Amino acid sequence: MARRPKQEDGEEEFARGPSMTRSQAQIAMSYAPGQHFTFEGAAGACQAIPSPDATPAKPSATTRVQIEMRINEAARAWFDKAISCRENSTPPAPRPLPEFCVDVSLLDATRQQYTFRPQALVYLRPDRMGYLPYPTTLICSECGLIEATETPRRMGQRLSELAEKCPHPKRPDDPKDCSWGQLDVIFAHWSGSWKSASPNMTVYDQASRRPIKRYAMCGKCGSRQFVLNKDQVALSNWSFSCAACGTRHPDPWIDKCDETLGRIAANIVPGGNIAGEASMEKINYAASAAYFVKSDTFITFPEGSGIEALEPGQTHLLPQAIERMIGLEGAALSDDEIRTQLLEKGRHAEVTEFDSILRLAADSTNEQALTFITGIKAERLSGWTKSGWLNRKGALPSYILDKLHHRHEWSGKYDPFRLIVEHAALSNTKLKGDIVSGRASYVDFDNPDEWLVPPSSNEKEIMVTSAHEAQRQLGLTRAGLITKFDLCKFSYGYSRVENGPKVLKHDRMMPVRLNLFPKVRAGHEPLHPVYVLEQSNEAYYFKLDEELVRAWLRQSELGCADAALLDDFSGNFAAAMLGSAKVMSGYLEEHERKSGPTIYSMTYALLHSYSHYVMQGIQQFSGLDLGSMGEYIFPCDLAFVVYRNGMTLDLGDLSALWRNHYQAFLSYLRNFPTSLGCNLGNLCMTKGGACPDCIMIPEVICLTANKYLSRSTLIGRGRPDFLSGEERIKGYLQFALENARAAK
């Protein structure tokens, strides 16, 4: 239910207005606060605002910590890139103000340093969103006359007046000759501010050294009525003419951001150029550049699943957790080393307790008692390790440890260390196949349960044989159905003009501000809303064959510069991947700079391309469209998940697909010369092997916005466009098929 605020006697009230129904996912993204949208029936343009009536969200403590971590990581990375956007610029440019980089709620009291305060946030379900009629500039589609109003209330009053009389000086008073509506162009600034576009503009007054509002007036006849000339295609070429005498307005149609101009006005020297810093962009309010919502998605796990290793305050445990998860642990501490480390930390009481435990163990002759004492020892050592008093000998090479200590440079959804922990937690929970609510949490396709095939049916043997044979030909060691894939999606802020933290405008890099959503009153204080969605839908899980991937990465045509890591870690692929990994930022800027292939980048591209291939197959046989699916990639574990993405009732589409169409689905995946074809043919393949006709999907649902994607990783014939070099590579599916034939 949508509500619109209105002003009464200086106080804000909320009155019920027309409403429209949207899904919670749409409200959290497409109708997030600050977004402009058109009301149903083309009744007018509005801007979404937070509703105080939204239902509070109650994520678990673990989920709440994960949300706060991800917002903090994203905002800190944004601030670092925005504040340094002019480093090494030619000619030298002043450092941006911190408050032009991120929301002031993400800065300290001096507004100079980044700081994150989770207490400034409130968690809401996106079940309601308010709105206001914006933009407020009116235009007649018949004559182009402009009526600039300042507020939604004044716009409504003016529309009533225009319905009675036409104000154009050269047209009849009869309003039947007019057709009034909102001007669909706004002025937007990378600080996040925007204005309704009109002939009236903000300018810098040299005398008072402050911004002032200048109301347009014809220099010839003094009229304040103007017509918008839209005879040019480009918005930048639109202009105004006097409605009375037809004189074209001599000033260019530009405007300034009031906030930016006000902050820099004191530093402007007479005759100084202010266009670059404060000039706004003319944009259609419905254009993508007018608004970019900031959101994230992650798997949710119960407490005790191992995900706690990622939480703040546990970073000292993460190296050992990673070593344990990838099977690269160092030697256990000896009793003397335990005693020495405890003494170095000043833990004399713990040393005394430890010595007592050792004496009890040495004096014990009863096996049951010894087992009990050993359990107490393990419990104490675990607690002392978590407290940071004990540090086990590390087995991770120093260059991998250095990457671990700089993992904050990675975007959370690409961080390989985070993804290792998440995959381990997934294995410890969902992939164990425990019975939950009468159904297994995970079922392998080559070992189906009664939900996928009737237990007394002859179909089971056929299904098992078909799945096993297909997995060999597709280079998979495991594939199955996750019956409840738990995810949390949340949105928390936005930017305008650019989706990243910097933008080049007027020959200078400008910081793009990350804005939190406008505050909404929660209890006794206003807080920034975070809209949280938790869903639990079906998903497919796939894991590639490690030996085949190693063989594929070693091919001479690919030429991975760090292929030697595969030999250095001959028995540990995850360690080799961590050794190869390079930073993947949230904006994947490195993708735009062609570089030589690495085993990490190529494995990521392979998994990502394979994921899209599976999505295309699901679309063919499940009735789900691509927009209703999502993907999750675990590069170091050679695994990926394709899940149903939606908050509506899960009707079991993915289990129904396998139960009813598994033969057709597997046939589609195995027939890759045809199913991975493209109407652009050789052109698409040689230019990188990915386009909307083959394996691209809508950017808004793709994990990487269709980067690190290429059919050539699967079927060869070309070379990924993000790699340097020209030599065509051999596809992974070709390796898998040849291996399957040789094994017969």
Judged against a pLDDT cut of 50, whether residue 8 lies above it is answered with no
pLDDT score for 4:
47
Q: DSSP class of residue 558?
A: T
Judged against a pLDDT cut of 50, whether residue 7 lies above it is answered with no
pLDDT score for 42:
65
**Model pLDDT for residues 309-355, shown as the tens digit of each residue:** 888 877 777 888 898 899 886 667 778 888 888 888 888 888 888 88
276 touches 506 (CB < 8 A): yes
pLDDT score for 10:
39
Q: End-to-end alpha-carbon separation of the chain, Å?
A: 62
Tokens of 606: 């392979």
Q: What is the mean pLDDT of the chain?
A: 87
Whole-angstrom Cα Rg for the chain: 31
Judged against a pLDDT cut of 90, whether residue 436 lies above it is answered with no
List the single range of 69-73, 87-91, 188-192 with lowest mean pLDDT: 87-91
pLDDT score for 213:
85
- pLDDT category at 394 given cuts 50, 70, 90 is low
- Mean pLDDT calculated for residue range 544-549: 97
Highest mean pLDDT out of 251-255, 479-483, 503-507, 737-741: 479-483
Up-side HSE of residue 435: CA atoms within 13 Å toward CB?
5
Highest mean pLDDT out of 82-91, 231-240, 393-402, 614-623: 614-623
Q: Is the peptide bond before 135 cis (omega within 30 degrees of 0)?
A: yes
- Mean pLDDT calculated for residue range 671-686: 82
Please name the residues in contact with 125: beta carbons below 8 A apart, sequence gap of 6 or more: 24, 54, 55, 56, 57, 531, 532, 533
pLDDT score for 329:
67
pLDDT score for 252:
84
Burial class (CB within 10 angstroms; exposed 0-12, middle 13-18, buried 19+) of 333: middle
Q: Phi then psi for 403, rounded to 5 degrees?
A: -65, -40
Amino acid present at 350? E
Residue whose token pair is 């695994």: 639
Judged against a pLDDT cut of 70, whether residue 648 lies above it is answered with no
Highest mean pLDDT out of 92-96, 241-245, 540-544, 715-719: 540-544
Amino acid present at 578? L
Length of the chain as a residue count: 744
Rounded to two decimals, the pTM is: 0.84
**Model pLDDT for residues 461-494, shown as the tens digit of each residue:** 999 999 999 999 999 999 999 999 999 999 999 9
Locate all alpha helices (DSSP H) within 499-572, ordered by sequence: 546-553, 565-568
Locate all alpha helices (DSSP H) within 345-501, ordered by sequence: 348-363, 367-386, 398-405, 416-428, 459-473
- Mean pLDDT calculated for residue range 361-390: 80
Judged against a pLDDT cut of 90, whether residue 134 lies above it is answered with yes
Please name the residues in contact with 383: beta carbons below 8 A apart, sequence gap of 6 or more: none
In angstroms, rounded to a whole number, what is the distance separating the alpha carbons of residues 331 and 381?
15
Judged against a pLDDT cut of 50, whether residue 579 lies above it is answered with yes
- Mean pLDDT calculated for residue range 517-521: 94
In angstroms, rounded to a whole number, what is the distance separating the alpha carbons of residues 727 and 556?
10
329-332: long-range contacts (C-beta < 8 A, 24 or more apart)?
A: 329/392, 329/395, 330/392, 330/393, 330/394, 330/395, 331/393, 332/392
Q: Kindly report the CA angle at 231 between 227 and 234, in degrees rounded to 5?
A: 110
Closest CA to 468 of 480, 456, 481, 483: 480
312 touches 69 (CB < 8 A): yes
- Mean pLDDT calculated for residue range 181-198: 93
